[in-house]
């Protein structure tokens, strides 16, 4: 059956691709053009439009923040699950007790947290390894308001627990995630109290800087959707968000090698993370 989405002409595609890259830092290269068409089609329907040209004009000339929120909800890829890339949570478990003296409260960020599984995974691990000896706070930030709302509701399908390995650092998920009548998983009140969610756009370093600095930043599977032109803005945000000497964890397909970002790779067991150093002198601005 043919989909109901209108065709996306070359010029409209180029204009919408550029607008999304500028605003959200996300690239839709030619092989994802049809995905962009399908994802934005619902916005055309909401506005009673039949052509992408009309929708581009709306974004360009009247594009309210609310409409851009809806675009972000539509075009972001939000795939996530509890304890994804489990080994990084094991590394965090080994690292966190050694960092705990750095500030009164250990501040930990899930940057690009999607629906919150990563943020709650961080809180479960930190609760276990710090054992109440050191207070910590986890913040999850994302550009998708729909996913942040789910994080605040804290209710997940069993698929969010799709990693079949035992949870890292001896975490007992039964004490943190309650099984509801319909099989869904709900974060306990105690776990929810350790995690807050905030909206931000990581492609806008000025906005990201308002969140303060964090001792540990997980920013995984976010940079893979940026391109060369938007990547420096994400790097700048990560520099501002990571305290001097703080640790940054990226996803396995992501790296800062060969960039100007103020991080040094550091070996943690068989893998590595990044430590925030002093920023390099920069001639350009982002």
Q: What is the contact surface with ligand SAM in residues (CB under 6 A)?
A: 24-26, 76-80, 84, 112-114, 118, 142-144, 147, 200-203, 220-222, 225, 251
Of the pair 134, 152, the CB lying nearest ligand SAM is at 152
Say how many CA atoms lie within 13 Å of 193 toward its Cβ.
6
Of the pair 37, 84, the CB lying nearest ligand SAM is at 84
Instruction: Collapse the DSSP code of 155 into the 3-class scheme (helix H, G, I; strand E, B; otherwise coil) and give the result.
Output: strand
| Residue nearest to ligand SAM according to CB distances in the complex | 112
Q: What is the DSSP letter of 107?
A: E
Instruction: Write out the DSSP string of 187-214.
Output: E-HHHHHTEEEEE--TT-HHHHHTT--E
Of the pair 88, 100, the CB lying nearest ligand SAM is at 88
Of the pair 100, 222, the CB lying nearest ligand SAM is at 222
Least distance in angstroms from the C-beta of 128 to ligand SAM:
20
Least distance in angstroms from the C-beta of 24 to ligand SAM:
5
Contact 21, 27 (CB under 8 A): yes
Contact 106, 137 (CB under 8 A): yes
Least distance in angstroms from the C-beta of 201 to ligand SAM:
5
Least distance in angstroms from the C-beta of 157 to ligand SAM:
15
Q: Any bridge partners for residue 249, and if so which? A: 218
Contact 223, 202 (CB under 8 A): no
Instruction: Collapse the DSSP code of 177 into the 3-class scheme (helix H, G, I; strand E, B; otherwise coil) and give the result.
Output: strand
Least distance in angstroms from the C-beta of 246 to ligand SAM:
17
**Burial status of residue 7 (CB atoms within 10 A of its CB: 0-12, 13-18, 19 or more):** exposed
Least distance in angstroms from the C-beta of 92 to ligand SAM:
14
Of the pair 36, 203, the CB lying nearest ligand SAM is at 203
Least distance in angstroms from the C-beta of 264 to ligand SAM:
22
Of the pair 100, 249, the CB lying nearest ligand SAM is at 249
Of the pair 111, 262, the CB lying nearest ligand SAM is at 111
Instruction: Write out the DSSP string of 214-283.
Output: EEEEEE-SSGGG--TTTHHHHHHHHHHHEEEEEEEEE-TT---TTS--SEEEEEETTEEEEEE-PPPP-S
């Amino acid at each position: 059956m043919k989909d109901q989405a209108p065709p996306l002409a070359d010029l409209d595609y180029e204009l919408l691709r550029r607008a999304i890259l500028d605003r959200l830092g996300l690239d839709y290269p030619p092989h994802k053009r049809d995905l962009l068409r399908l994802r934005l089609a619902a916005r055309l329907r909401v506005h009673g439009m039949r052509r992408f040209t009309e929708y581009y004009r709306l974004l360009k000339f009247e594009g309210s923040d609310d409409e851009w929120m809806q675009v972000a909800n539509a075009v972001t890829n939000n795939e996530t699950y509890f304890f994804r890339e489990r080994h990084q949570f094991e590394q965090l478990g080994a690292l966190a007790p050694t960092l705990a003296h750095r500030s009164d409260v250990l501040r930990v960020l899930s940057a690009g947290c999607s629906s919150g599984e990563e943020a709650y995974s961080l809180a479960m691990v930190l609760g276990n390894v710090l054992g109440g000896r050191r207070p910590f706070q986890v913040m999850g930030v994302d550009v998708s308001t729909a996913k942040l709302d789910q994080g605040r509701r804290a209710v997940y399908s069993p698929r969010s627990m799709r990693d079949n390995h035992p949870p890292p650092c001896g975490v007992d998920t039964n004490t943190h995630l309650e099984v509801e009548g319909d099989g869904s998983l709900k974060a306990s009140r105690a776990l929810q109290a350790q995690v807050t969610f905030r909206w931000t756009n990581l492609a806008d370093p000025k906005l990201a800087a308002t969140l303060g600095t964090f001792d540990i930043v997980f920013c995984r599977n976010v940079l893979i959707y940026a391109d060369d032109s938007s990547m420096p803005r994400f790097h700048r945000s990560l520099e501002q968000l990571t305290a001097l000497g703080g640790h940054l964890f990226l996803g396995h397909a992501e790296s800062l090698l060969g960039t100007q970002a103020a991080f040094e790779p550091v070996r943690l067991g068989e893998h590595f993370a990044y430590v925030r150093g002093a920023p390099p002198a920069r001639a350009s601005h982002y």
